[in-house]
Structure 1
Amino acid sequence: MKKYTTLLSLAMLMATGLSAQQLGKPAETESEFDKAYAWRIRQENLDGVYIPKDLTEAFLELNRLTEKSSREKYRNAPEEEATHRLFFSLGRWITTNWSFYEGSRLSEFLRKLGLHHPDDMALFIMITWHRSLNQSPLEVKNLVDSLEAKRKEELKEYLERGTLLKEETRPKEKNQRERE
């Protein structure tokens, strides 16, 4: 009996190890990350979730996944209020399920538009979906420029609030002095 218990335990341990390997591990080098990213941006499905390829598909998927009454509430709310109120629910769902941090074909599409931060990508989709539901012009270029400017301003303010811990000046190396 003890022999069978040991074999059963060993089999369960091996099965657990196999499933952990199947889940994959984080990239340890930049080239591993680049290879994984290149694979991810070509996939229609990641982690069992359909990934839209562009804004049109994103809108269709959001329409499919939401109840009509919820869509109507979202559509009828002012744009700023709708996106602000739902950013930490719908926005987080979009960011997580459509793999904006790890990379997906939708995040790559948005990156090519000029959006680089996952929060900006989610907000962009929420705003343009709201405009689409209201049959308003999407104004993609203006929105991308606005989000990019806001991100730069936030970074500038963040850096200005920072405290310099120590300032150092390193002497130039011999090769640098010879080039000058």
Structure 2
Amino acid sequence: MRITWLLLFLLALTGPVLTAQEHRPSETREEYEAEYQERIKKETLYGVYIPQDLTDAFIQLNKLIEADDRQKFKSLSEEEAEHRLFFSLGRWIIHNWGFYGGSRLSHFLRELGVYHPEDMARFIIITYHRNLNRKSLDVKPLVESIQEKRLQEQQEKRKDGQILHEETRVREKTEDQRD
């Protein structure tokens, strides 16, 4: 009886460990790239349908969002819609549509020129808002605006950054340099 309990206890402890190893992160750049290439071809990731382009994303959002909530979203200004929904709908989009690990939708957005997952979510929220309001999506100017904001944000971080530690490598002189 003790052996049975011991085996059950050990099995309970090793179960999560064995399943955790199933989705281990990539160890090399080549391994990551191979996994990325597989992910961008998949129609579903972890049981969630991944839209293939903006039109498909709008269709999926229309299915997911109830009509009265869609109407409230539609009545907001574009800026307000972007800011209000980023930490709810935006985070849902990033996580469920696989923007960090790569998906066919994130790959589509990368080809448009939107590279950061947060920018991808903002792009979808803004274009979805424009689509609901029957406005032109104006993809190219929106992509340029997002790229410019990302660049400014990076420059601000660098400007205000503090160097924690700096090293200078001293190279040994070669035979030619010694003479």
Separation (CA, whole Å) in 2 of partners of 1:166 and 1:17 = 38
Separation (CA, whole Å) in 1 of partners of 2:152 and 2:172 = 35
Q: Aligned-pair distance for 1:39?
A: 1.4
Structure 1 unaligned regions, length at least 5: none
1:35-91 CA distance string (max 9 Å, x none): 221111111111221111110111011110011000000011111111111111111
Alignment root-mean-square deviation, CA: 2.2
Confirm or deny that 1:6 pairs with 2:37: no
Q: Aligned-pair distance for 1:163?
A: 2.9
- Name the counterpart of 1:26: 25
Separation (CA, whole Å) in 2 of partners of 1:33 and 1:81 = 37
1:137-178 CA distance string (max 9 Å, x none): 000011001100111111112111123456666567768x99
**Structure 2 letter corresponding to 1:95:** I
Give the 5 Å matches for 1:39-78. Answer: 39-78=38-77
**Structure 2 letter corresponding to 1:93:** W
Structure 2 unaligned regions, length at least 5: none
Counterparts in 2 of 1:171 and 1:132: CA distance versus 1, 3 Å: same
Separation (CA, whole Å) in 2 of partners of 1:114 and 1:36 = 21
Separation (CA, whole Å) in 1 of partners of 2:102 and 2:76 = 31
Separation (CA, whole Å) in 2 of partners of 1:153 and 1:10 = 53
Confirm or deny that 1:142 pairs with 2:130: no
Q: Aligned-pair distance for 1:32?
A: 1.7
Report the number of matched residues.
Answer: 176
Confirm or deny that 1:128 pairs with 2:112: no
Separation (CA, whole Å) in 1 of partners of 2:139 and 2:81 = 18
1:105-152 CA distance string (max 9 Å, x none): 111110110011111100000000000001100000110011001111
